[in-house]
Structure 1
Amino acid sequence: MESSSSSSSSLSGFIAKATADVNGGFGLSDSRSDNLKGILLAVLASAFIGSSFIVKKKGLKRAGSSGPRASVGGYGYLLEPLWWIGMVTMIVGEIANFVAYIFAPAVLITPLGALSIIVSAVLADFLLNEKLQKMGILGCILCIVGSTMIVLHAPSERSLNSVEEIWGLATQPAFLVYTALAVASVLVLMFHCAPSYGQTNILVYIGICSIIGSLTVMSVKAIGIAIKLTLEGWSQVSCYQTWIFAMVAITCVITQLNYLNKVGTSFILKNCRPVFANVAKNKK
């Protein structure tokens, strides 16, 4: 009897262990599948976003030739169809990027955004006749290497079960200090540096977009998780934190789009100014 009981206990333990292993294996497989979907979507998003910069720049050039440039407060590009084609392309890319955040951790998706730089650089070489110099090629290689290294060595992301949990992480003292510093830096760049140096130094506008982008990633990730949990049956619509994250994301995205347009026209102005000067000199 004891032997039979012992055998039965051993068999039960073996079955339980096997079941746990199988479930764990399926969970790991599902996680890898979601990560792969997220990575593929992020790469696709980079292709759309990178090409949108080129199309929008061509639209900005056309608009700037017939009216005030965006870098000096002009909004004539809103009437340019080519700019809107680029804008639609960017929206498609951003939607793909947004969905990618739902499937995979932010630490995997965010670095892949650097691939849009490669796409823009290659297309600019062919479509805008902006030839890549040695330093530009080196920068593209570093982008690829850096993105690959981060993706390959990305830490596992903790499971989040509600927007309230994300809110708890976002309201920790360390992140609040970072947010305050980021907002203060952006305000200084927007109201002090941009009017004085924005048209001659492209780093001012790039700094604004980059710093704001760090807050955009956090809010978009929160919205993505809220949508995913809602579709799984755990509605996050009634949580006020969801709407706060949504407002933060909308504000950040609009600000980035505004200054991204200024980046394009600032670059055009900086490169064309010597040409205009030579033309004026020859006329004299």
Structure 2
Amino acid sequence: MQVLHQEKGTFLRNIMGHHSHPTGCLAPGFSATTLGMDVRPQTQLLGVLLAAASNFLISVSLSIQKCAHLRLACQTEPKPYYTSKLWWCGIILLVLGEVGNFTAYGFAPIALVAPLGCVSVIGTAFISVLFLKQTMRAADILGGTLAVAGTYLLVTFAPNVPQELTARRVQNNLVSWPFLVYVILEIITFCILLYFYKRKAVKHIMILLMMVALLASLTVIAVKAVASMITLSVKGKMQLTYPVFYIMLILMATSCVFQVKFLNQAMHLYEATAVVPINFVFFTTSAIVSGVIFYQEFQSAALLNVFMFLFGCLLSFLGVFVIARNKKEEHLQVPYIDCGHIPGQKLTGKIQPDSYSSRYGTLNNEDDSVKTQS
């Protein structure tokens, strides 16, 4: 009986000791999920808060830049946007937000940081109502509610992975067979899409944004590796002397440049209300997949956690689509343009530029081929 009493006391101390030591061991048969406890380290919580704040800062910066453009366009003598102090203020906030996002990858998993980009979409929707005097829609409230609920599930059921990502671990992951297979498949897919884009001149929004997403998967892998190695170096564990750090740095910069190129092409050809939600879904999905394959972020996660995390992603996706659905962009009032007189041509008079078309008007005697193209 005395031995049984001692074993019982040891069992209770193991359970009670977990409250003061989040990383302590539990008794056999018990887990943090069973006891309803949160063993997520404080560094991961810091990454979540940093990512959310950075994305909100990005939404504020974009609204400030748009406000600066509107003010400059209303002036009698419009000046270049880079002469506006308000525009530069928005740029500074944008840089700070991106730096914060970069730093967040050093503290939290990719699968958690990437979906928090929905905070930027929610923030932009509500800030535009407050500062740009746009009308609040029921879709904005519904979409914001869905996105917030999804974000809560993401944070709650995100994978709990070790945050000490050393250069040696990055080297081992680079030559692991799952990542090599993933990279080969990604390169083949990207080449096929690039063939249709360049050779066949297929500039569909899905083609462009799929190429952006494939590049983004490499970007987030490199960003997390670089940010984690810098974080460890600041803490005293020098990682910057390893060649893999500079390899990942070059990969990050290169993939970022081409990613921005294709994204700008999509923004040029299509409305932002179509590009933003699709790009968010593609980017988040590719980031999560790359985190699972390269960093094994869901390796030890319970099935329920994985399901609830994916359900949170789905709610966030739906929220972003609802906010962007049927939301028309505001266009400035462009005055009619008097084209004057062109010898030998009879014009239709004053022509109103169409913001949705690349053509400013037509001539009465244009040939059939031009009419067919228009």
TM-superposed deviation, 1:93: 1.0
- With structure 2 as the length reference, what TM-score do the two structures score? 0.54
1:244-279 deviations in Å (ceiling 9; x for gaps):
111111112222333333333323599896755997
Q: How does 1:32-111 map to 2 (within 5 A)?
A: 32-54=41-63, 86-111=90-115
TM-superposed deviation, 1:169: 2.0
1:209-236 deviations in Å (ceiling 9; x for gaps):
3222222211111112211221222211
Change (3 A) 1:206 1:131: farther
Range 152-161 or range 120-129, more displaced:
120-129
1:192-211 deviations in Å (ceiling 9; x for gaps):
3278343xx43343323322
Range 184-193 or range 252-261, more displaced:
184-193
Structure 2: distance between partners of 1:283 and 1:58: 39
Partner of 1:7: none
2:214 equivalent among 199, 211, 214: 211
Is the Cα contact below 8 Å between 1:209 and 1:260 reproduced in 2? yes
Number of equivalences: 257
| Secondary structure at 2:160 match in 1 | coil
Partner of 2:201: 196
Kindly indicate whether residue 125 of structure 2 is the aligned counterpart of residue 121 of structure 1. Answer: yes
Structure 2: distance between partners of 1:283 and 1:134: 45
Change (3 A) 1:161 1:189: closer
1:228 equivalent among 224, 227, 231: 231
Partner of 1:68: none
Structure 2: gaps of 5 or more residues: 1-5, 25-37, 72-79, 275-328, 332-353, 366-374
TM-superposed deviation, 1:118: 1.7
Query: What letter corresponds to residue 206 of structure 2 in structure 1?
Result: L
Is the Cα contact below 8 Å between 2:57 and 2:94 reproduced in 1? yes
Is the Cα contact below 8 Å between 2:171 and 2:244 reproduced in 1? yes
Kindly indicate whether residue 361 of structure 2 is the aligned counterpart of residue 280 of structure 1. Answer: yes
TM-superposed deviation, 1:175: 1.6
The higher radius of gyration belongs to 2
Taking only the aligned residue pairs, the percentage that are identical comes to: 24
- With structure 1 as the length reference, what TM-score do the two structures score? 0.68
Partner of 1:172: 176
Q: How does 1:110-189 map to 2 (within 5 A)?
A: 110-123=114-127, 140-160=144-164, 162-189=166-193
Query: What letter corresponds to residue 154 of structure 1 in structure 2?
Result: A
1:242 equivalent among 227, 240, 245: 245
| Secondary structure at 1:238 match in 2 | coil
| Secondary structure at 2:240 match in 1 | coil
Partner of 2:316: none
Is the Cα contact below 8 Å between 1:56 and 1:83 reproduced in 2? yes
Structure 2: distance between partners of 1:283 and 1:51: 47
Partner of 1:25: 21
TM-superposed deviation, 1:157: 0.2
Structure 1: gaps of 5 or more residues: 1-9, 63-76
Specify which structure has the higher proportion of helix.
Answer: 1
Q: Over the residues paired in the alignment, what is the CA RMSD in angstroms?
A: 4.5
Structure 2: distance between partners of 1:205 and 1:61: 29
